């Protein structure tokens, strides 16, 4: 082979070998590449939101509350939540009932005339009634629920926790309103932080969830505080209210006497010519009277309560006349109520500088209450129960008392009047005989099968049954709400009858008195004949 051709052959061989090596390298690179995961061209899946509601944005102030409500079975499934929708009273009570764990009511019959067993809010309404959350004979489930009503329901469900009215601007503005105490509790514990509370506005679904979430997850009510709170409430409920009896408590409020973050119960009562102030405090886990002071009066004295730099003072106007006025100031502390200073103004002479300085110290302070002894007009803080609430609580107490003594009373309170059912003769000669059914329904000349809408057991054991309510126009043009009712006097109760009627009852028989104001009959008297 020629030298030139041999070189050409060698060169071709080298090129061939190089090509084989290159191909092998490429194959190895492809295999290595194929062993690696191929990057996906699909978008990253969006995490499933914790709630299915499309109308609740993550940046909304109520988002966490709605998530909590959904996860805890308070808010139901659905594509939308309706955060701005107004809640009805039935919805509010149902949400509140669920937030409390959907407890089974102990009562089996509805105390409300507008709630029946086939209503979706039946159990929440019964639970609310037996726990004092909703009161009265009508529940009004379809009525819009205001923020004030919703907050009050929640406050009652939490055990009516105390809060100082003095530290709540919302509560002070609501003096005399039923929601003053709930508002004080909510504001002093941070529910209204950064928001405005409009009591009259409809409560929205989002707003209600914010209330429930706050009360369940953020606010705590220690068991010891619950026990003392219940004792505070009992002190108030046991008091004889001035409006009812003419003596007793005329003022009560919660105050933080020692500025330690714990409230005490301050009461002022009137009995005869004496005004007594007292402070009840948490002592060893129980509500006990820590101090008390009695003030003599002269019939025209008045009292005011002032707060200066976290200190409480009770001011008594001990003299007021044409010549001038004299004031005594007492410092209220947890352990004592002590006289601290006196100031006088005499119009006919120049006022001493020392007295002027004392009066100026209190001049700009708002009196937290004022008692004009001749009228006993008090700036209401909403702590004392209304006359209706007081009478209802008293009636329930006696109902429990008589129910424990006689099974017939326990049956009546459940709607069973079997022990008193029968025919009754009209011994007053006003309306004719009547019949009382086993369900309490009365039938007679003026009424046909009318069941009582409410039943109350009185202190003396009589059974007071309201048949219906109606409005009546007064001579001065005003409207008075009155009731048609009957009263059952069981055996042994009506020994002497009603002294106002002159009727001498037969103690061996049950007697009924029926009041018919809508028919112009004040009272008809009946005696059971069968």
Q: Where are the domains of the chain?
A: 63-220, 225-372, 387-528
Name the nearest CA neighbour of 209 among 75, 56, 73: 75
Position 35 pLDDT exceeds 50: no
Q: What is the pLDDT of residues 450-508, one digit of tens each?
A: 888 888 888 878 898 888 777 666 665 556 667 788 999 886 554 444 433 333 445 45
Mean predicted lDDT score pLDDT of the chain: 79
72: its two tokens: 């805890």
User: Which of 12-21, 141-150, 180-189, 510-519 holds the top average pLDDT?
Assistant: 141-150
Q: Taking the CA of residue 378 as centre, how many other CA atoms within 13 Å lie in the half-sphere pointing to its CB?
A: 21
Three-state secondary structure along 416-465? Answer: CCHHHCEEEEECCCCCCCEEECCCCCEECCCCCCECCCEEEECCCCCEEE
Q: Give the whole-number percent of the chain exceeding pLDDT 70.
A: 75
The Cα–Cα gap between 137 and 118 comes to 18
| pLDDT tens by residue, 274-333 | 888 999 999 988 999 999 999 887 655 777 878 787 788 888 888 766 667 888 899 998
Distance between CA 425 and CA 530 in Å, rounded? 9
Tokens of 329: 């100031």
Query: What pLDDT shows up at residue 84?
Result: 95
Supply φ then ψ for residue 112, to 5 degrees: -105, 135
Exposed, middle or buried by CB within 10 Å (0-12, 13-18, 19+), for 39? exposed
According to the model, what pLDDT value does residue 378 have? 53
The whole-number pLDDT of residue 372 equals: 58
Least confident window among 249-258, 329-338, 364-373, 496-505: 496-505
pTM for the full predicted model: 0.65
End-to-end alpha carbon distance in the chain: 149
Name which residue leads in pLDDT, 381 or 276. 276
Reduced to 3 DSSP states, what percent helix, strand and coil does the chain have, rounded to the nearest 5?
Answer: 30, 25, 45
Local confidence band at 359 (pLDDT 50, 70, 90 cut-offs): confident
Residue 371 — pLDDT band, cuts 50, 70, 90?
Answer: low
Kindly report the backbone phi and psi dihedral angles of residue 346, in degrees, each rounded to the nearest multiple of 5, phi listed first: -120, 115
């Amino acid at each position: 082979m020629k030298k030139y051709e041999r070189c050409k052959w060698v060169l071709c061989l080298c090129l061939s070998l190089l090509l084989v090596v290159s191909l092998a390298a490429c194959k190895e690179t492809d295999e290595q590449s194929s062993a690696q995961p191929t990057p996906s061209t699909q978008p990253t899946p969006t995490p499933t939101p914790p709630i299915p509601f499309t109308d609740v944005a993550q940046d909304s102030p109520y988002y966490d509350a709605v998530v909590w409500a959904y996860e805890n079975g308070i808010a139901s499934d659905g594509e939308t939540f309706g955060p701005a929708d107004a809640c009805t009273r039935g919805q509010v009570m149902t949400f509140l009932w669920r937030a409390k764990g959907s407890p089974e009511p102990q009562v089996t019959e509805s105390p409300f005339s507008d709630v029946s067993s086939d209503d979706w809010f039946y159990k929440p309404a019964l639970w609310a009634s037996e726990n004092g959350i909703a009161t009265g004979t009508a529940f009004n489930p379809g009525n819009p629920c205001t923020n004030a009503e919703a907050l009050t329901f929640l406050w009652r469900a939490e055990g009516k926790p105390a809060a100082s009215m003095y530290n709540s601007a919302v509560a002070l503005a609501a003096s005399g309103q039923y929601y003053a105490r709930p508002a004080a509790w909510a504001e002093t514990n941070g529910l209204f932080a950064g928001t405005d509370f409009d009591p009259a506005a409809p409560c929205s679904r989002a707003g209600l969830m914010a209330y429930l979430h706050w009360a369940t997850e953020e606010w705590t009510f220690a068991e010891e505080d619950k026990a003392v709170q219940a004792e505070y409430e009992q002190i108030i409920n046991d008091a004889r209210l001035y409006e009812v009896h003419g003596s007793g408590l005329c003022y009560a409020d919660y105050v933080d006497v020692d500025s330690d973050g714990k409230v005490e119960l301050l009461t002022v009562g009137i009995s005869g010519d004496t005004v007594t102030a007292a402070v009840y405090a948490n002592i060893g886990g129980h509500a006990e009277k820590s101090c008390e002071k009695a003030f003599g009066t002269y019939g025209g004295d008045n009292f005011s309560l002032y707060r200066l730099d976290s200190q409480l003072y009770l001011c008594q106007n001990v003299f007021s006349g044409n010549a001038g006025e004299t004031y005594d100031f007492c410092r209220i502390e947890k352990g004592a109520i002590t006289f601290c200073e006196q100031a006088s103004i005499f119009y006919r002479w120049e006022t001493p500088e020392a007295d002027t300085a004392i009066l100026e110290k209190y001049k700009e302070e708002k009196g937290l209450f004022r008692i004009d002894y001749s009228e006993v007009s008090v700036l209401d803080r909403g702590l004392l129960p209304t006359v209706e609430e007081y009478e209802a609580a008293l009636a329930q107490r006696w109902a429990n008392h008589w129910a424990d003594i006689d099974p017939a009373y326990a049956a009546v309170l459940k709607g069973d009047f079997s022990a008193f059912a029968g025919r009754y003769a009209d011994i007053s000669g006003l309306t004719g005989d009547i019949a009382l059914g086993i369900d309490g329904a009365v039938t007679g000349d003026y009424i046909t099968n009318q069941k009582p809408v409410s039943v109350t057991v009185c202190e003396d054991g009589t059974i007071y049954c309201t048949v219906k309510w109606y409005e009546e126009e007064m001579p001065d043009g005003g409207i008075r709400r009155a009731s048609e009712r009957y009263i059952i006097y069981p055996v042994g109760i009506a020994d002497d009858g009603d002294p106002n009627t002159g009727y001498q009852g037969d103690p061996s028989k049950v007697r009924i008195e029926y009041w018919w104001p809508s028919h112009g009959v004040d009272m008809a008297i009946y005696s059971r004949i069968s």
